């Protein structure tokens, strides 16, 4: 058997934490050409495993590495990072940590130039990599002017251009829109199938990646808990849930139906697999049975009778380099609603949201916040009304300790010190950050830094909260905590705007969805209304949730209604089966 990766008895501890191993007795073999998905909650050891595969551990991070790791014929502990770099490509979770060039093309060509390849080969590979990752036309753009998802695609393209034997990806599609994720994963799958590239994909989103995998490896607390084919892994769905993993919607739906005696056989991982296992009486519905429960969120009509907290009136915005990011946008955000803004990478979502608190000003048009024209107010004046949480927490965090980070905002608002300290203690408890009180924020994991960034804004008690991709990089447990907290704040009257690519989650918590394309609002309304526009959504690089696709298929055979959450789908199918 030709194994390209062989890990035997691997345990690892970071420097200064020798008694706290992150990986414990890992034994893993990967055949040449295999596609492996490694999953697990935040802190399970996925990223550390990636660092071992390309030699960053032990050669860069140091620490204590026990056991033997062989990758692409090299023993990791004895080979140099240079030796491994031409055989093992790696894509980190944080794209910005890998950007080095002044232009997209230069960034992608950097590794090829270090291999001393002929100029014609460098040009051919880089342009191919840009084409397959959807970056064609952005060759001369600065990577730092790209959206978060475009930055991630640039890093993936740079790794693909190296033609490695093994491609290791650490949560690489976290910042991509749904169809962007599908496109990148399709590219990786094609490289795996057609070129025999061995792929190790560390991923928390199993909705799309599971169907590509030959095997799924589940880590928890540094140990391999499960290692099997996808069908066997998902038939053990209860264990995945106990480990804090988010099941694909169709798997979750079938699991609920199985628990009520309505589903037999294996649990599916795709819409096609789910539909093929439905009994004939459901596949050929002749009567109409609609969803009988109340909508999970307050209706858009009820919300729209409230006062508009934010009014965007025919706003356009042109950046200094001439990029027109917004083009005649008009929008209302109503008191007490949760509004989710969806759209492809670069569609203008973040640019629009930065107008809400004065970080950006309209080139033409106007933005009113509680009747105040943002052109006539400073960011500091708007801070009491609008709190903004950045997509990348490292753009927001700067203090030496977590407690100091939380205290910074209230102190600048002039709160008495006693009130500041009381608020800090309350927020530390609410976000389960007490144990990090005196820690340096930059040494926290990405998910914890996300929570801290949100907490540092909420401590100031704004009337409106804007969150840019609040759960990117967070596991399902932390994602659920963030969403629960958002909904609790909303119940208390806070108006919330969420920029997100997580269509499935947004369908469950948002009162209204706004869809953007090329700097314009092209669709807005309740989730059920928005998801009926299949072709327009596809043009905007958005896919409806899998359960919505199930509902659409049922509509074609006689059922009438909408379903866009697992709860709605279960309520409907439990009555039909």
Burial environment of residue 264 by CB neighbours within 10 A (0 to 12, 13 to 18, 19 or more): exposed
Q: Is the pLDDT of residue 291 over 60?
A: no
Contact 192, 199 (CB under 8 A): yes
Rounded to the nearest integer, the mean pLDDT of the chain is 88
Closest by Cα among 352, 353, 320 to 518: 352
% the chain with pLDDT above 90? 57
Q: Is the pLDDT of residue 398 over 70?
A: yes
pLDDT at 220: 95
Out of 19-28, 94-103, 296-305, least confident range: 296-305
Q: Is the pLDDT of residue 223 over 80?
A: yes
Domain at 3-242, CATH from 1.20.1260.120, 3.30.160.20, 3.40.50.300, 1.20.1440.120: 3.40.50.300
The pLDDT of 310-321, averaged and rounded, is 95
pLDDT at 148: 67
pLDDT at 16: 87
pLDDT at 286: 39
Cα–Cα distance measured from residue 128 to residue 395, given in angstroms and rounded to the nearest whole number? 32
Cα–Cα distance measured from residue 427 to residue 466, given in angstroms and rounded to the nearest whole number? 18
pLDDT at 6: 96
Closest by Cα among 443, 395, 399 to 424: 399
Q: Is the pLDDT of residue 451 over 70?
A: yes
H/E element holding 422? Answer: helix 417-430
The pLDDT of 333-338, averaged and rounded, is 95
The pLDDT of 390-399, averaged and rounded, is 88
User: Residue 553 — very low, low, confident or very high, per pLDDT cuts 50/70/90?
Assistant: confident
% the chain with pLDDT above 70? 94
Cα–Cα distance measured from residue 510 to residue 105, given in angstroms and rounded to the nearest whole number? 38
pLDDT at 282: 63
Judge if 3-242 and 303-546 fold alike in CATH terms. yes
Beta bridge partners of 368: 311, 373
pLDDT at 113: 92
In 286-363 the beta strands, taken as DSSP E runs, fall at 308-318, 324-334, 338-343
For 116-146, what is each residue's pLDDT tens digit?
A: 899 999 999 999 989 888 889 999 999 988 8
Cα–Cα distance measured from residue 348 to residue 360, given in angstroms and rounded to the nearest whole number? 12
Find all residues with CB under 8 Å of 462, minimum gap 6, and list them. Answer: 383, 384, 385, 386, 387, 494
Find all residues with CB under 8 Å of 245, minimum gap 6, and list them. Answer: 39, 40, 41, 204, 206, 218, 475, 476
Closest by Cα among 304, 369, 337 to 487: 337
Would you say the C-alpha torsion 347, 351, 356, 362 has a positive or negative sign? negative
pLDDT at 298: 37
Beta bridge partners of 75: 70
The pLDDT of 478-493, averaged and rounded, is 88
pLDDT at 303: 54
Cα–Cα distance measured from residue 504 to residue 297, given in angstroms and rounded to the nearest whole number? 14
For 26-47, what is each residue's pLDDT tens digit?
A: 999 999 999 999 999 888 999 9
Q: What angle in degrees, to the nearest 10, is found between the helix axes of 148-161 and 178-195?
A: 10
Q: Is the pLDDT of residue 266 over 90?
A: no
Q: Is the pLDDT of residue 106 over 80?
A: yes
pLDDT at 12: 97
In 182-222 the beta strands, taken as DSSP E runs, fall at 198-202, 215-220
The pLDDT of 226-255, averaged and rounded, is 91
Q: What is the DSSP secondary-structure string of 438-506?
A: TS-GGGS-HHHHHHHHHHHHHTT--SEEEEESTTTT--HHHHHHHHHHHHHHHHTT-EEEEE-S-HHHH
Out of 269-278, 331-340, 467-476, least confident range: 467-476
Out of 365-379, 390-404, 557-571, least confident range: 557-571
- Domain over 303-546 is classified CATH 3.40.50.300: yes
pLDDT at 555: 82
3-class secondary structure, 309: strand
Cα–Cα distance measured from residue 255 to residue 245, given in angstroms and rounded to the nearest whole number? 14
Segments making up each domain of the chain, as ranges: 3-242, 249-295+550-576, 303-546
In 96-222 the beta strands, taken as DSSP E runs, fall at 166-170, 198-202, 215-220
Contact 71, 62 (CB under 8 A): no
Contact 374, 358 (CB under 8 A): yes
In 14-106 the beta strands, taken as DSSP E runs, fall at 23-31, 35-39, 64-71, 74-75, 88-91
pLDDT at 179: 67
Q: Is the pLDDT of residue 302 over 50?
A: no
In 86-236 the beta strands, taken as DSSP E runs, fall at 88-91, 166-170, 198-202, 215-220, 223-228
pLDDT at 448: 82
The pLDDT of 143-164, averaged and rounded, is 84
């Amino acid at each position: 058997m030709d194994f390209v990766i062989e890990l035997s008895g691997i345990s690892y501890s970071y420097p200064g934490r020798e008694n706290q191993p992150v990986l414990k007795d890992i034994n893993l073999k990967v055949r040449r050409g295999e596609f492996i998905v490694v999953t697990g909650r935040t802190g399970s050891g996925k990223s550390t495993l990636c660092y071992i595969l390309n030699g960053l551990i032990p050669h860069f991070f140091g620490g204590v590495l026990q056991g033997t790791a062989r990758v692409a014929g090299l023993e990791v502990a004895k080979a140099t990072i240079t030796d491994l770099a031409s055989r093992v490509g790696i894509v980190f979770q944080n794209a910005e940590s890998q950007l080095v060039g002044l232009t997209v093309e230069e960034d992608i060509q950097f590794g090829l130039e270090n291999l001393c390849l002929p100029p014609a080969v460098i040009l051919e590979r880089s342009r191919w990599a840009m084409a397959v990752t959807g970056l064609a036309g952005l060759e001369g753009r600065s990577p730092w002017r790209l959206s978060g998802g475009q930055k991630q695609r640039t890093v993936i393209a740079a790794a693909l251009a190296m033609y490695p034997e093994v491609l290791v990806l650490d949560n690489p599609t976290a910042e991509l829109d749904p169809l962007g994720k599908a496109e990148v994963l399709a590219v990786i799958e094609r490289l795996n199938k057609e070129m025999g590239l061995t792929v190790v994909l560390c991923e928390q989103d199993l909705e799309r990646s599971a169907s590509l995998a030959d095997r799924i490896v589940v880590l928890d607390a540094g140990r391999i808990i499960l290692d099997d084919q996808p069908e066997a892994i998902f038939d053990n769905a209860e264990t995945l849930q106990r480990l804090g993993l988010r099941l694909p919607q169709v798997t979750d739906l079938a699991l609920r139906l199985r628990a009520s005696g309505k589903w037999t056989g294996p649990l599916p991982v795709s819409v096609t697999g789910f539909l093929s296992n439905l009994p004939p009486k459901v596949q050929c519905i002749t009567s109409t049975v609609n969803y009988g429960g109340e909508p999970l969120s307050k209706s858009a009509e009820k919300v729209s009778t409230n006062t508009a907290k934010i009014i965007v009136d025919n706003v356009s915005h042109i950046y200094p380099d001439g990029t027109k990011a917004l083009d005649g946008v008009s929008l209302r955000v109503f008191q007490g609603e949760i509004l989710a803004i969806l759209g492809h990478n670069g569609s203008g979502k973040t640019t629009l949201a930065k107008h809400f608190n004065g970080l950006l000003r309209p080139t033409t048009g106007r933005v009113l916040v509680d009747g105040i024209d943002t052109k006539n107010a400073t960011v500091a004046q708007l801070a009491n009304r609008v709190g903004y949480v950045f997509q990348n927490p490292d753009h927001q965090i700067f203090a030496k300790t977590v407690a100091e980070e939380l205290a910074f905002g209230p102190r600048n608002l002039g709160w008495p010190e006693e009130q500041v300290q009381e608020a800090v203690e309350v927020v530390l408890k609410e976000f389960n950050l007490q144990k990090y009180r005196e820690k340096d924020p930059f040494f926290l994991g990405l998910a914890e830094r996300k929570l801290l960034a949100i907490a540092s804004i909420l401590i100031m008690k704004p009337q409106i909260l804007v969150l840019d991709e609040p759960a990117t990089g967070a596991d399902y447990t932390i994602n659920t905590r963030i969403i629960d907290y958002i909904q609790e704040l909303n119940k208390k009257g806070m108006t919330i705007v969420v920029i997100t690519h997580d269509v499935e989650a947004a369908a469950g918590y948002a009162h209204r969805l706004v869809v953007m394309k090329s700097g314009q609002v092209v669709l807005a309304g309740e989730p059920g209304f928005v998801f009926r526009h299949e072709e327009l959504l596809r043009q905007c690089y958005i896919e409806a949730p899998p359960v919505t696709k199930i509902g659409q298929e049922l509509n074609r055979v006689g059922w009438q209604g909408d379903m866009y959450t697992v709860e709605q789908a279960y309520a409907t199918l439990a009555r039909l089966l």
